[in-house]
Amino acid sequence: MSTLRDWLRRELQGIIPRDALFGPVGFGRLPTSVTAAANKLPAPDAAGALDPSWLVAKPGGNLAVDGNFDFWLEGISGTLSGVGPDTMWANGHLGSTKVVSRQTFALGDTDGFDDSARYYSRTVVTSVAGAGNYACKVLRLEGVHRTAGRRLALSFRGRVDSARNIAVSCRQYFGTGGSAEVLGIGSQVVALSPAWQKRVVTVDIPSAAGKTIGAGGNDFLAVYFWFDAGTSYATETANLGQQSGTFDLAQVKLEIGQATPYRAPHPADAAARVARYFQTSYPAGVIPGTAATWGGTLKFDVNTSEGGYAYAQSGFPFKMRAAPTVSLYHPQTGSLSKCGTRYTPSTEIAATASDITDNGFNRISGGSYALSNVYQAHYVADARL
């Protein structure tokens, strides 16, 4: 037995004829003696053929922002329908209910995966019968044009409490004022089991020729993971149907073309990508709206030339996708729509952000701000699709 590296070295040294690699079957032909598992590669088929994309795979190229479920900036569990608690995901339901939570892999759990992972996302669905009822998990990819007219490979690790199907499909949303949404693209069911399994599906995204994209810049391709779907969604979910259950997802990757192994991004790269959509001044691990440190807060001072306002001394660390929705919190108490000063740290002063752009917000108002004082507030800026 030899590792792939050993085998390639021997091939380069002429020990193994090049035809063994670039043989009559074509690129990607491997001798069956290669220990694929040691290199996190799929086993070659009986003829020794290996999907060539595995040999040319490079880290990156994942269109999904935080497919690794590393970012839970607003909390690590939630029951609402909408974006979060996994920061870059939307978790929708109607009629049926669900609990979405961050779960942690034990060390060694991901040894058989393409790459290591710390977290996965769990959705526990309680199905309620109803034609219009559903529960799903959605990834929105900025810019509907990026994937239009292309074949996408969606790969992910999935696990369920007992053998059952989920469904995947895509929607093209052309933004406010744009062409009508296209639903049910590539609808198909995917079978999962109680053991972690990697699944790869391909979806052909329709061309956007003849479509109009709205001027607001909020167009996207949505990738749906359906867990529970009433009959109203039969077409869009390939007749998945309704079901309760526990659904775990990890290492979601979306690529143009063929699927390649999952590669976890460097934390700094991942953080920068997420920051285009969501930023907070709170320290890592601190849920917005809770009592916290004054460190990292935005600061505002007072200009006597325009009463009633305090002006920001800095902007967002990263430029955002669009002007975000901003929420302010008192640094010490965590109260919403409040700011404070270090001079009287427990005093809460009303604060509402305005002049909001993708670079920051210019001022706060709503409170009584004194000359020469510096006011501080934690913020959450949300520019997610």
Partner 1 sequence: MLQYIDAGDSLTLDGMCIPKDPGNRHYDETLAAVEAGEAEILPAPGPTLAAVAAAKLASIQAEKCRVRDGGFFVGGVLFDSDQSARTSYLELVLRFQVEPGFSTRWKASAGVWVEMNAALFAQVQAAGTSHMQAAFTWQEARDAEVSAILAAVAAGTMTDAEARTAVEAVSTQFE
From the CB of 361, what's the least distance to partner 1, in Å? 8
Token pair of 132, please? 């219009």
Tell me whether residue 190 or residue 381 sits nearer to partner 1 (CB atom).
Answer: 381
Q: Which is nearer to partner 1, 177 or 345 (CB)?
A: 177
Which are the contacts of 99, defined by CB distance < 8 A and separation ≥ 6? 77, 78, 79, 123, 124
C-beta of 35 vs 352, nearer to partner 1: 352
The label of the residue with tokens 């021997």 reads 10
Question: Residues, the chain, total?
Answer: 385
Q: Tell me how far apart the alpha carbons of residues 379 and 382 are, in angstroms, rounded to a whole number.
A: 10
- How far is residue 385's CA from residue 365's CA, in Å, rounded to a whole number? 27
By C-beta, is 61 or 307 nearer to partner 1? Answer: 307
Q: Give the interface with partner 1 as residue ranges (CB under 8 A).
A: 83, 176-177, 214-218, 321-328, 336-337, 352-357, 361, 382-385
What residues contact 135, with CB distance under 8 A and at least 6 apart? 92, 93, 96, 97, 98, 123, 125, 127, 226, 227, 228
Q: Are 203 and 170 in contact (CB under 8 A)?
A: yes
Nearer to partner 1, 133 or 218 (CB): 218
Q: How far is the C-alpha of 190 from the C-alpha of 158, rounded, in Å?
A: 10
Least distance from partner 1 to the Cβ atom of residue 315, Å:
14
Rounded least distance, CB 73 to partner 1, Å:
16
116 versus 352: smaller Cβ distance to partner 1: 352
Tell the smallest beta-carbon distance from residue 177 to partner 1 (Å).
Answer: 8
Q: How far is the CB of 324 from partner 1 (least distance, A)?
A: 7
CB of 285 to partner 1, least distance (A): 22
| Spatial contact of 150 and 186, defined as CB atoms under 8 Å apart | no
3-state secondary structure of 83: strand
